[in-house]
Amino acid sequence: MSAERICAVYRVRCAADTVQARAQAIALEQSVELPLAAVTDARVRERIVGRIEAIDPDVGDDDGQGGECWRVSVALAAETTGPEPGQLLNMLFGNTSLQPDVELVDAWLPASVLEAMPGPGVGIEGLRAMVGAHRRALTCTALKPQGLPPQALAELAHTFALAGIDVIKDDHGIADQAYSPFEQRVPLVQQAIERANERTGRRSVYAPSLSGGPMRLAEQLRAAHRSGVRCLLACPMVMGVAVFTELVREHGDFAILAHPALAGASRIAPALLLGRLFRLFGADAVVFPNFGGRFSYSRKTCLAIAACAREALGAHRPAMPVPAGGMRVDRVEEMLDEYGADVMLLIGGHLLEAGASTPQRAREFVERVERAGSP
Amino acid sequence: MSAERICAVYRVRCAADTVQARAQAIALEQSVELPLAAVTDARVRERIVGRIEAIDPDVGDDDGQGGECWRVSVALAAETTGPEPGQLLNMLFGNTSLQPDVELVDAWLPASVLEAMPGPGVGIEGLRAMVGAHRRALTCTALKPQGLPPQALAELAHTFALAGIDVIKDDHGIADQAYSPFEQRVPLVQQAIERANERTGRRSVYAPSLSGGPMRLAEQLRAAHRSGVRCLLACPMVMGVAVFTELVREHGDFAILAHPALAGASRIAPALLLGRLFRLFGADAVVFPNFGGRFSYSRKTCLAIAACAREALGAHRPAMPVPAGGMRVDRVEEMLDEYGADVMLLIGGHLLEAGASTPQRAREFVERVERAGSP
């Protein structure tokens, strides 16, 4: 890799007379972790030390915390990133994440970094092909609550697949607990969905949730393969982004849904982390908390996540945006208006709240999406 | 695991008339992710649903953001955690991390969770035995800047080992980059330190920095073993906490230093994350940004981290606190006064800033610590 640079943009909250020093401190912290005077090697000074590219007043600050804010652009050496996803995050925000006055709001990545990352293995088109829906938006729901035994989750999955929901995922809290071990749950749920598919002629898929360290993950992947599973749910920030990327590289035949658990609020801009970086690390679809639900992301933030997931990014496939988090069936048309047809709508709790009418509500969800067609 | 409960404490910023509803929402979000009315299974309602234990006004809020704050204590089912470090973090703060009005400030863990985690493999006593210093504080420094080739880092390590510094670690930005590949760097640095040890009669150790996904980590561990390395540096939040714990379980003969990169500021209380959880996941020593340096942790936060690392925690060994981040040799006595002798002082940049006098300043660091003895 040559002397290519990443451009990282930080939002810094400080007074005007200190921002130059603060910017310089960030540029050093995220590169050599030394005062410039202590960097004597000419090559390191020239190629490795972070450089301030720009300092601009920040006008987009809508978090209501007050105080002056600045957008500080820093050029970081691409060669410091490994190139590897964990080290990329480390170089973008590792030590600076420990400083409360700084957020990472954007990052422009050069070709060498883009090319070193896997990107989505199947992407939007692959997901569409998997479930056999080529133009309309996709539908997704979650098996919950955790604590139910495998058989109960399998029955629920059967109900959702009969209703025609495309992707039926484990709730992200469902892991490998004693009350529902992965190796027991996954074949039962998968078979239940396959039985429903035989009746409906559809191709609903199951996305079980991965958890644990490399050895446990390897066991889960073997069990998923054995059971005929074709889609997986993973939380990159819990699992470790390098583990996530290795998973994508080694198991590119699975479609992989990324969940935002532990992604924090606002320290790394959601569009950058969930939309661009998770996609770059290999997510085929990225779940995020949609506006107007249980979470507080703004409409602007949500549309920015979707834009990052689908925009041009080197040679990488687009990833499917998955707005979620307290969504309701009566919002289907509004969400399709916002996101267009290249979206997967995830509605979980609202289907279960219907109690005995859950099958009907699930069916309504599917029908409203199909009726909308390709908006 | 029985119906044991974790007690998680959240700091919530909201008005008095909404805190009950906000607390209930957190208790559901961090357990079943469903409205209570949609949880029909009696066992799940009884054993799995999170329960509000207490809501108290928060008086310790010193972050200057204003607004009313509450300490909300929620009892979470221990059996939802797996038991596994990633799932433990997921259940403590996974989805709630996406909500800007909530921080995770404390967590009491029951015996079943404590027993399921490895804790430090060697701990404070093991580190002391490794470097042959049984009463005094230990000394630590970092090889930097990144960008230097392996031979230059080895020469620097030789200098530091001749000065008698106990633990010489890679800077956390040093990974497996093309300009200093792990497999070339590690044997060179290790040999340089061993040569110095032969001259000094001391037992300085090298802690190379691990990075990457499971396969690359496995290669690095083999290279470290082959080279005779006995100590490692790892960033649990970058690597993934379950990967970190598996590393500890599979390679318990290494002493493992945990670095706080990407640990975020203030969303999870540093004493909980760095002091208690990193230790529980297997850190023998935990690096944290000391007050009065380049970072903004308060004295109270830093002493709380050290207390959590060393206090009674089931049957687990204490872990060594490692205050760092812009420390200077003239602060040695003050830091020993604060932390006592069961501490490892990490001074990096200040030694290198001395330029040609780096060997003398490193020697001064060692002598000041030895002179203080066991304060």
Which range (A242-246, B1-5, B36-40) has the least confidence?
B1-5
- Among B30, B46, B262, pick the best mutation site for testing chain A contact (most A Cβ within 10 A): B262
Q: What angle do CA B257, B258, B263 make, to 5 degrees?
A: 165
User: Would you list the DSSP string of B259-283?
Assistant: --TT--SSSB-HIIIIIIIHHHHT-
User: Would you list the DSSP string of A74-98?
Assistant: EEEEGGGGTT-HHHHHHHHHTTGGG
- Give dist(CA B122, CA A187) in Å, integer: 40
Do residues B199 and B336 both lie within one domain? Answer: yes
End position of a domain, from candidates B116, B137, B168: B116
Task: Output the CA–CA distances (angstroms, integers) from residue A260 to A116, A177, A275, A295, B259, in the order listed.
Answer: 23, 21, 10, 12, 23
Do residues A160 and A66 both lie within one domain? Answer: no
| Spatial CB neighbours of A15, under 8 Å, sequence gap ≥ 6 | A68
Do residues A210 and A291 both lie within one domain? Answer: yes
pLDDT at B124 over 50: yes
- Distance from the B374 Cα atom to the nearest Cα atom in chain A, whole angstroms: 31
Mean pLDDT computed over every residue of chain A: 94
pLDDT at A60: 64
- Give dist(CA B218, CA A242) in Å, integer: 13
- Give dist(CA A234, CA B37) in Å, integer: 28
The answer to whether the CB atoms of B86 and A238 lie below 8 A apart is: yes
Do residues B167 and B292 both lie within one domain? Answer: yes
Which residues in chain B touch residue A260, judged by CB atoms under 8 angstroms apart? 98
- B97 in contact with A, Cβ within 8 Å: yes
- Give dist(CA B58, CA B53) in Å, integer: 15
Do residues A107 and A131 both lie within one domain? Answer: no
Task: Output the CA–CA distances (angstroms, integers) from residue A337 to A138, A284, A331, A372, B338, in the order listed.
Answer: 14, 22, 10, 10, 59
**Each residue of A227-243: pLDDT tens digit?**
999 999 999 999 999 99
- Residue B88, helix vs strand vs coil: helix
Helix or strand run (H / E) with residue A237: helix A236-239
- Give dist(CA A220, CA A186) in Å, integer: 9
The answer to whether the CB atoms of B145 and A41 lie below 8 A apart is: yes
pLDDT at A13 over 60: yes
The answer to whether the CB atoms of A89 and B238 lie below 8 A apart is: yes
- Both tokens of B267, joined, read 């969303």
- Give dist(CA B281, CA B85) in Å, integer: 7
Q: Tokens 């990282």 correspond to what residue? A: A8
- Give dist(CA A141, CA A339) in Å, integer: 18
- Distance from the B354 Cα atom to the nearest Cα atom in chain A, whole angstroms: 8
The answer to whether the CB atoms of B240 and A240 lie below 8 A apart is: yes
pLDDT at B296: 85
- Give dist(CA A339, CA A122) in Å, integer: 20
pLDDT at A50: 97
Asked if ipTM goes beyond 0.90, one says yes
Q: Tokens 């078979």 correspond to what residue? A: A191
pLDDT at B63 over 70: no
Do residues B87 and B188 both lie within one domain? Answer: no
pLDDT at B373: 82
8 A C-beta contact, residue B144 and residue A33:
yes
Counted domains in chain B: 2
Do residues B158 and B101 both lie within one domain? Answer: no
Do residues B100 and B219 both lie within one domain? Answer: no
- Give dist(CA A36, CA A39) in Å, integer: 5
End position of a domain, from candidates B116, B150, B173: B116
8 A C-beta contact, residue A145 and residue B34:
yes
8 A C-beta contact, residue B32 and residue B48:
yes
**Each residue of A344-367: pLDDT tens digit?**
999 999 999 999 999 999 999 999
What is the rounded radius of gyration, in angstroms, for the C-alpha atoms of chain B? 22
pLDDT at A1 over 80: no
- Name the residue facing A177 among B65, B80, B173 (closest C-beta): B80
- Give dist(CA A77, CA A79) in Å, integer: 5
pLDDT at A66: 57
pLDDT at B1: 42
| Spatial CB neighbours of B200, under 8 Å, sequence gap ≥ 6 | B161, B162, B164
The answer to whether the CB atoms of A147 and B173 lie below 8 A apart is: no
- B145 in contact with A, Cβ within 8 Å: yes
- Give dist(CA A341, CA A36) in Å, integer: 51
Do residues B127 and B39 both lie within one domain? Answer: no
Do residues B146 and B96 both lie within one domain? Answer: no
**Where residue B13 sits, what CATH number does that domain have?**
3.30.70.150
The answer to whether the CB atoms of A32 and B145 lie below 8 A apart is: yes
- Give dist(CA B245, CA B306) in Å, integer: 21
**Each residue of B317-372: pLDDT tens digit?**
999 999 999 999 999 999 999 999 999 999 999 999 999 999 999 999 999 999 99
8 A C-beta contact, residue B256 and residue B284:
yes
pLDDT band at B60 (very low <50, low <70, confident <90, very high): low
- A97 in contact with B, Cβ within 8 Å: yes
pLDDT band at A302 (very low <50, low <70, confident <90, very high): very high
Provide the CA B106 distance to its chain's centre, in angstroms.
16
Percent of chain B scoring above 90 in pLDDT: 92
The answer to whether the CB atoms of A262 and B297 lie below 8 A apart is: no
The answer to whether the CB atoms of B41 and A243 lie below 8 A apart is: no
Which residues in chain A touch residue B176, judged by CB atoms under 8 angstroms apart? 82, 84, 87
- A91 in contact with B, Cβ within 8 Å: yes
Residue B82 domain boundaries = 5-116
**Where residue B337 sits, what CATH number does that domain have?**
3.20.20.110
Do residues B49 and B196 both lie within one domain? Answer: no
- Residue B147, helix vs strand vs coil: coil
Q: Report H helices in chain B.
A: 19-29, 42-43, 85-93, 111-116, 123-131, 150-163, 182-200, 214-227, 236-239, 241-250, 270, 278-281, 299-310, 332-339, 349-352, 358-372
- Name the residue facing B211 among A29, A32, A87 (closest C-beta): A87
More confident residue, B309 or A62: B309
- Orientation angle between helical segments A332-339 and A358-372, nearest 10 degrees: 40
pLDDT at A266 over 90: no
- Among B36, B215, B238, pick the best mutation site for testing chain A contact (most A Cβ within 10 A): B238
Q: What is the mean pLDDT of residues B207-224?
A: 96
Q: What is the mean pLDDT of residues B287-309?
A: 95
- Name the residue facing B148 among A29, A44, A100 (closest C-beta): A44
- Give dist(CA B103, CA B93) in Å, integer: 8
Task: Of A211, A244, A286, A227, give the one whose Cα is nearest residue A89.
Answer: A244
Mean pLDDT computed over every residue of chain B: 94
- Among A33, A104, A259, A350, pick the best mutation site for testing chain B contact (most B Cβ within 10 A): A33
End position of a domain, from candidates B81, B116, B151: B116
pLDDT at B142 over 90: yes
| Cα dihedral sign, A81-A84-A85-A86 | negative
Do residues B96 and B128 both lie within one domain? Answer: no
**Each residue of A24-68: pLDDT tens digit?**
999 999 999 999 999 999 999 999 999 999 999 998 655 545 579
- Among A65, A98, A266, pick the best mutation site for testing chain B contact (most B Cβ within 10 A): A98
pLDDT at B266 over 90: no
What is the rounded radius of gyration, in angstroms, for the C-alpha atoms of chain A? 22
pLDDT at B59: 81
